[in-house]
Amino acid sequence: MSQESPFQSTTSTLKEHKITVLLIDDQAMIGEGVRRMLADEKDIDFHFCSDPTDAMTVANEIRPTVILQDLVMPEVDGLTLVKFFRANPLTKDIPMIVLSSKEEATTKAEAFARGANDYMVKLPDQIELIARIRYHSKGYINLLQRNEAFTALRLEQEKAEKLLLNILPAPIAERLKSGNNTIADYFAESSVLFADIVGFTEFPLGSRRQNWLQS
Protein backbone atom coordinates (compact mmCIF):
# COMPACT_ATOMS: atom_id res chain seq x y z
CA MET A 1 0.00 0.00 0.00
CA SER A 2 1.46 3.36 -1.02
CA GLN A 3 2.10 5.92 1.68
CA GLU A 4 1.03 9.55 1.31
CA SER A 5 3.81 12.08 1.75
CA PRO A 6 3.39 14.91 4.30
CA PHE A 7 3.28 17.41 1.44
CA GLN A 8 0.44 15.52 -0.28
CA SER A 9 -1.58 15.43 2.94
CA THR A 10 -1.23 19.20 3.37
CA THR A 11 -2.20 20.02 -0.21
CA SER A 12 -5.33 17.89 0.08
CA THR A 13 -6.64 20.13 2.88
CA LEU A 14 -5.87 23.54 1.39
CA LYS A 15 -8.22 26.40 2.15
CA GLU A 16 -10.56 27.47 -0.63
CA HIS A 17 -10.25 31.12 -1.63
CA LYS A 18 -13.09 32.85 -3.48
CA ILE A 19 -12.30 35.42 -6.15
CA THR A 20 -12.77 38.79 -4.44
CA VAL A 21 -12.56 42.08 -6.32
CA LEU A 22 -12.00 45.48 -4.72
CA LEU A 23 -12.61 48.51 -6.95
CA ILE A 24 -11.20 51.82 -5.71
CA ASP A 25 -12.68 54.73 -7.65
CA ASP A 26 -14.15 58.06 -6.58
CA GLN A 27 -16.88 57.88 -9.24
CA ALA A 28 -20.01 55.99 -8.19
CA MET A 29 -20.95 55.59 -11.86
CA ILE A 30 -17.79 53.55 -12.50
CA GLY A 31 -18.49 51.44 -9.44
CA GLU A 32 -22.00 50.67 -10.66
CA GLY A 33 -20.72 49.90 -14.15
CA VAL A 34 -18.19 47.34 -12.91
CA ARG A 35 -20.74 45.86 -10.51
CA ARG A 36 -23.10 45.20 -13.41
CA MET A 37 -20.31 43.64 -15.46
CA LEU A 38 -19.64 41.14 -12.68
CA ALA A 39 -23.25 40.60 -11.56
CA ASP A 40 -23.67 37.28 -13.38
CA GLU A 41 -20.33 35.88 -12.16
CA LYS A 42 -21.59 34.00 -9.10
CA ASP A 43 -18.11 32.93 -8.02
CA ILE A 44 -16.84 36.52 -7.85
CA ASP A 45 -17.43 38.80 -4.85
CA PHE A 46 -17.38 42.52 -5.68
CA HIS A 47 -16.58 45.37 -3.29
CA PHE A 48 -16.51 49.07 -4.08
CA CYS A 49 -14.60 51.79 -2.21
CA SER A 50 -15.25 55.38 -3.32
CA ASP A 51 -13.04 57.06 -0.71
CA PRO A 52 -9.32 56.54 -1.43
CA THR A 53 -8.44 57.40 2.17
CA ASP A 54 -10.38 54.29 3.28
CA ALA A 55 -8.90 52.00 0.63
CA MET A 56 -6.16 50.47 2.78
CA THR A 57 -8.54 49.73 5.65
CA VAL A 58 -11.08 48.10 3.34
CA ALA A 59 -8.40 46.01 1.62
CA ASN A 60 -7.04 44.79 4.96
CA GLU A 61 -10.55 43.74 6.00
CA ILE A 62 -11.78 41.91 2.91
CA ARG A 63 -8.41 40.57 1.62
CA PRO A 64 -9.25 40.81 -2.12
CA THR A 65 -7.66 38.51 -4.68
CA VAL A 66 -7.36 41.44 -7.10
CA ILE A 67 -7.59 45.24 -6.76
CA LEU A 68 -8.95 47.50 -9.50
CA GLN A 69 -7.32 50.87 -8.91
CA ASP A 70 -8.46 54.16 -10.45
CA LEU A 71 -5.59 56.44 -11.41
CA VAL A 72 -6.98 59.98 -11.03
CA MET A 73 -8.71 60.66 -7.70
CA PRO A 74 -8.97 63.54 -5.22
CA GLU A 75 -6.81 63.63 -2.08
CA VAL A 76 -4.79 60.52 -2.99
CA ASP A 77 -3.83 59.66 -6.56
CA GLY A 78 -3.91 56.08 -7.77
CA LEU A 79 -0.15 55.71 -8.22
CA THR A 80 0.43 56.72 -4.61
CA LEU A 81 -2.09 54.11 -3.48
CA VAL A 82 -0.33 51.46 -5.55
CA LYS A 83 2.89 52.34 -3.73
CA PHE A 84 1.13 52.17 -0.34
CA PHE A 85 -0.40 48.78 -1.14
CA ARG A 86 2.98 47.40 -2.11
CA ALA A 87 4.48 48.62 1.18
CA ASN A 88 1.74 46.98 3.26
CA PRO A 89 2.58 43.36 4.28
CA LEU A 90 -1.09 42.32 4.00
CA THR A 91 -1.52 43.62 0.44
CA LYS A 92 1.98 43.60 -1.05
CA ASP A 93 1.33 40.51 -3.19
CA ILE A 94 -2.27 41.22 -4.23
CA PRO A 95 -2.50 41.77 -8.02
CA MET A 96 -3.38 45.34 -8.95
CA ILE A 97 -5.04 46.39 -12.20
CA VAL A 98 -4.89 50.12 -12.83
CA LEU A 99 -7.98 51.58 -14.50
CA SER A 100 -7.52 54.94 -16.20
CA SER A 101 -8.75 57.08 -19.08
CA LYS A 102 -5.11 57.88 -19.86
CA GLU A 103 -3.49 55.88 -22.63
CA GLU A 104 -0.01 57.46 -22.66
CA ALA A 105 2.86 54.99 -22.56
CA THR A 106 4.67 57.05 -19.92
CA THR A 107 1.68 56.80 -17.57
CA LYS A 108 1.49 53.05 -18.05
CA ALA A 109 5.23 52.71 -17.46
CA GLU A 110 4.95 54.69 -14.22
CA ALA A 111 2.10 52.49 -13.02
CA PHE A 112 4.12 49.33 -13.62
CA ALA A 113 7.15 50.90 -11.96
CA ARG A 114 5.09 51.57 -8.82
CA GLY A 115 4.01 47.92 -8.66
CA ALA A 116 0.89 47.54 -10.81
CA ASN A 117 0.38 44.13 -12.43
CA ASP A 118 -1.87 45.29 -15.26
CA TYR A 119 -3.30 48.40 -16.90
CA MET A 120 -6.67 48.86 -18.58
CA VAL A 121 -8.34 51.89 -20.12
CA LYS A 122 -11.75 52.38 -18.48
CA LEU A 123 -14.37 51.40 -18.87
CA PRO A 124 -12.89 48.17 -20.21
CA ASP A 125 -14.67 45.51 -22.23
CA GLN A 126 -16.67 43.20 -19.97
CA ILE A 127 -15.27 39.93 -21.32
CA GLU A 128 -11.70 41.19 -21.14
CA LEU A 129 -12.13 42.57 -17.62
CA ILE A 130 -13.55 39.30 -16.31
CA ALA A 131 -10.78 37.33 -18.01
CA ARG A 132 -8.08 39.48 -16.43
CA ILE A 133 -9.73 39.35 -13.01
CA ARG A 134 -9.81 35.55 -13.18
CA TYR A 135 -6.25 35.32 -14.49
CA HIS A 136 -4.71 37.51 -11.79
CA SER A 137 -6.87 36.03 -9.02
CA LYS A 138 -5.90 32.49 -9.97
CA GLY A 139 -2.21 33.34 -9.72
CA TYR A 140 -2.68 35.00 -6.34
CA ILE A 141 -4.80 32.14 -4.97
CA ASN A 142 -2.13 29.67 -6.09
CA LEU A 143 0.43 31.74 -4.19
CA LEU A 144 -1.73 31.73 -1.05
CA GLN A 145 -2.25 27.97 -1.22
CA ARG A 146 1.44 27.34 -1.81
CA ASN A 147 2.32 29.40 1.26
CA GLU A 148 -0.34 27.59 3.30
CA ALA A 149 1.01 24.21 2.18
CA PHE A 150 4.57 25.11 3.15
CA THR A 151 3.39 26.43 6.51
CA ALA A 152 1.45 23.22 7.20
CA LEU A 153 4.44 21.13 6.13
CA ARG A 154 6.76 23.12 8.41
CA LEU A 155 4.40 22.55 11.35
CA GLU A 156 4.29 18.81 10.63
CA GLN A 157 8.09 18.72 10.52
CA GLU A 158 8.27 20.56 13.84
CA LYS A 159 5.84 18.06 15.38
CA ALA A 160 7.91 15.14 14.05
CA GLU A 161 11.09 16.70 15.41
CA LYS A 162 9.55 17.18 18.86
CA LEU A 163 8.42 13.54 18.85
CA LEU A 164 11.91 12.44 17.86
CA LEU A 165 13.46 14.47 20.67
CA ASN A 166 11.03 12.92 23.15
CA ILE A 167 12.40 9.43 22.56
CA LEU A 168 15.98 10.03 21.41
CA PRO A 169 18.90 12.03 22.80
CA ALA A 170 19.39 15.31 20.94
CA PRO A 171 22.81 14.31 19.45
CA ILE A 172 21.33 11.12 17.98
CA ALA A 173 18.31 12.96 16.60
CA GLU A 174 20.56 15.50 14.90
CA ARG A 175 22.69 12.74 13.34
CA LEU A 176 19.57 10.99 12.02
CA LYS A 177 18.30 14.26 10.52
CA SER A 178 21.63 14.80 8.80
CA GLY A 179 21.39 11.40 7.08
CA ASN A 180 23.58 9.28 9.34
CA ASN A 181 21.93 5.85 9.28
CA THR A 182 24.57 3.82 11.14
CA ILE A 183 24.78 4.89 14.77
CA ALA A 184 26.18 2.95 17.72
CA ASP A 185 26.47 4.99 20.92
CA TYR A 186 26.38 4.50 24.66
CA PHE A 187 24.38 6.64 27.07
CA ALA A 188 24.64 6.15 30.81
CA GLU A 189 20.98 6.92 31.43
CA SER A 190 18.59 5.34 28.93
CA SER A 191 14.99 4.18 29.16
CA VAL A 192 14.50 2.88 25.61
CA LEU A 193 16.80 0.67 23.52
CA PHE A 194 16.78 1.02 19.73
CA ALA A 195 18.60 -1.70 17.81
CA ASP A 196 18.53 -3.13 14.32
CA ILE A 197 20.38 -6.06 12.79
CA VAL A 198 21.47 -5.38 9.22
CA GLY A 199 19.05 -7.09 6.86
CA PHE A 200 16.66 -8.15 9.63
CA THR A 201 13.83 -5.87 8.50
CA GLU A 202 13.94 -7.10 4.91
CA PHE A 203 14.26 -10.78 5.82
CA PRO A 204 10.71 -11.48 7.05
CA LEU A 205 9.28 -9.35 4.26
CA GLY A 206 10.96 -11.55 1.66
CA SER A 207 10.02 -14.85 3.30
CA ARG A 208 6.74 -16.70 3.34
CA ARG A 209 4.84 -16.31 6.60
CA GLN A 210 4.77 -20.08 7.26
CA ASN A 211 8.51 -20.47 6.75
CA TRP A 212 9.14 -17.49 9.02
CA LEU A 213 6.88 -18.87 11.77
CA GLN A 214 8.41 -22.37 11.54
CA SER A 215 11.91 -21.00 11.82
Q: CA neighbours within 13 Å on the CB side: how many for 126?
A: 9
The DSSP code sequence of 48-74 is EE--GGGHHHHHHHH--SEEEEESS-S
DSSP 8-state symbol, 185: -
Per-residue pLDDT of the chain (215 residues; tens, 9 = 90+): 444 454 455 445 667 889 999 999 999 999 999 999 999 999 999 999 999 999 999 999 999 999 999 998 888 889 999 999 999 999 999 999 999 988 899 999 999 999 999 999 988 999 999 999 999 999 999 998 998 888 778 777 777 777 766 666 677 667 766 766 666 666 666 666 666 656 666 655 665 555 555 55
Q: Is the pTM higher than 0.85?
A: no
- Beta carbons within 10 angstroms of residue 65's beta carbon: 25
Q: Residue 195, SS3?
A: coil
Q: What is the CATH number of domain 8-147?
A: 3.40.50.2300
